[in-house]
Chains A and B, each alone.
Chain A
Amino acid sequence: MRASGTDRRAPSVPRRSLLRTWGEALLALVTVTVVALSAQARTRLVVAAASSLTEVVGEFEAHYETLHPEVDVTPAFAGSGVHRVQIDRGAPIDVLVFASRGQVDPLVESGRVRRGDLVVVAENQLVLVCRAETALAGLEDLRSRPGLLIAAGDPVRVPAGEYAARLFEHRGWSPALEGRLVPAENVRQVLRYVETGVVAAGLVYRTDALRADDVVVAESYGPDDVGAVEVVAAPLLRSDHAALAADFVTFLLRPESAEIWTGHGFALPARSSADEAHR
């Protein structure tokens, strides 16, 4: 039996407040109606592209769609590491355009890409950038000024990071050991660190350095230092639109595409320009 008290008020939920609660909840939730999905009339070609290629791939998308109005080129932008996982898990990707071969090799091994299909579509260059007022002469200069930090992509996931690691190895210097290396998720993040002064310098692609307003290129690295920095493309073997995927990759090598590449600061691959010359 419950203890008897003097005040035995029933718990009071003001009725109106409950109604209002529901009203507010509905208002907050049903702010937008569901977008009706129109049937996809055009063939969708999903192009997984490295984040660093956002602008140039966007331009290729527009050009290809003008040539082939029946095709809807749909770029998917993420780090190459993310794309590799997605492709490994069978995500519906038709073409890949990566900033290095490194992320493609595992896909060749797992049978997602045929090695013969892999082509170098453009070349890039690794450069050291800093803000103008930092006035760096190059990597050796940075090395001799303790306390200055350097940012580079994480070599495990970011192609630009792979090249940076190769550069450090080649120069026999490990900024990581000195606690002076700031790893980043992608090249844009490296640039951002440099622009905001979080780090003194960063290793990025020439194409990214050209687009940034507040940084200058302190030093450039050639194939001797880091090997060729290649943009590679390949159709995926299990694509539902294999012919179209192959055609898109060929399109990236066409003479009219060369202008787009160079317009964004890329160099044309020596081999493929030779190939093109034969046609």
Chain B
Amino acid sequence: MISNERGREAGMIRSLHPGAGPSLAVDVTRALRDFQLRAEFTVSRWPLVLLGPSGSGKTQLLRVIAGLECGGRGRVALDEEVWQGERTFVPPHRRPIGYCSQEGDLFPHLSVLENVAFPLRFRSGLSAQERGDRALEWLERLKVGHLAKTAPSAISGGERGRVALARALAGAPRLVLADEPFAAVDQAARRELCRQVALGALLGLPLVWVTHDPEEAEILGEKGLRLELENGRMRAVSGYEP
């Protein structure tokens, strides 16, 4: 269903896709500066690609799922676990997620390795040594193991995206939220990175991937689900059909 009128509610999409992974249910209404964000869906087939032009509300939706936006009403649940409901709001640090923002937002006072090991400080009972080993494994899976001792300020945009992804994945999250991790890289390189990353680390993970590039959506959503957003409203879905 396609509708371009601002402020009107978009069509609703629910449970189109039987799948094996965990099930994410989102039902959110949220006033943004220019329009209203309205999203209602339940997915259990992964990865989920959120496609839409800049300013369509993708990041906002992701932030709602992560618990970084606490205003507005709605419901967010992963399987039976309600993260946001009428009287519940689980703060972000209690949601088993991995989040990767556009800028990467690596911690500049920590080395690359310490950045990736960071979630393990809170989400694992591992010793410092074990956390370092685990973080290094992730860096190597994303082909940036050689940067372990480097400062985040000294690495390139593409590398920063990989490190940020490694950090999002390291804490063994039950849901990974990635907001255009390679936004800093030019288009051709970005698509190549996505291909590598998708194959190397993301396959089969419960992942929400945000992008404004349809081709990137194709690459990642090949096996999963695509959800398009425009002006805060979901516009179309494609991907797996039962």
List residues of chain A with CB under 8 Å of any chain B CB.
1-4, 6-15, 18
Contact = CB atoms under 8 A, between A and B. Distances in A.
A10 B109 contact: no
A14 B60 contact: no
Contacts of B160: 8, 10
Interface string B148-191: 00011100010010000000000000000000000110000000
Contact of B153 (A3, A6, A10): A10
Contacts of A13: 108-109
Interface of A is mostly: loop
Contacts of A7: 184
A228 B97 CA distance: 87
Interface string B33-68: 000000000000000000000111111100000000
Contacts of B54: 1, 3-4
Contacts of B55: 1
Given A2-B102, A4-B183, A9-B153, A15 B110 contact: yes
Given A1-B55, A1-B59, A15-B151, A10 B111 contact: no
Interface in B87-109: 102-106, 108-109
A3 B183 CA distance: 11
5 contacts: A1-B54, A2-B59, A8-B157, A12-B151, A12-B153
Contact of A10 (B56, B58, B60, B105): B105
Contacts of A6: 184
Nearest to A16: B151
Nearest to B157: A8
The 8 closest A-B CB pairs, nearest first, are: A12-B153, A8-B184, A13-B108, A1-B59, A12-B108, A13-B109, A10-B106, A8-B103
A11 B151 CA distance: 11
A14 B152 CA distance: 9
Interface residues of B, number: 23
A10 B104 contact: yes
B39 to A, nearest CB: 15
Interface string B182-211: 011000000000000000000000000000
Contact of B151 (A2, A3, A4, A14): A14
Contacts of A3: 54
Contact of B108 (A2, A4, A11): A11
Contacts of B108: 10-13, 15
B183 A15 contact: no
Contacts of B104: 8, 10
A1 B53 CA distance: 10
A100 B152 CA distance: 72
A18 B111 CA distance: 13
B165 to A, nearest CB: 14
A7 B153 CA distance: 12
A18 B110 CA distance: 10
B70 to A, nearest CB: 19
Nearest to B58: A1
A8 B183 contact: yes
Nearest to B102: A2
A103 B108 CA distance: 63
Contacts of A11: 108
A169 B160 CA distance: 85
A1 B60 contact: yes
A87 B60 CA distance: 66
A189 B104 CA distance: 65
A5 to B, nearest CB: 8
B152 A10 contact: yes
Given A8-B104, A10-B106, A1 B56 contact: yes
Contacts of B109: 13, 15, 18
A108 B153 CA distance: 72
A262 B54 CA distance: 93
A12 to B, nearest CB: 3
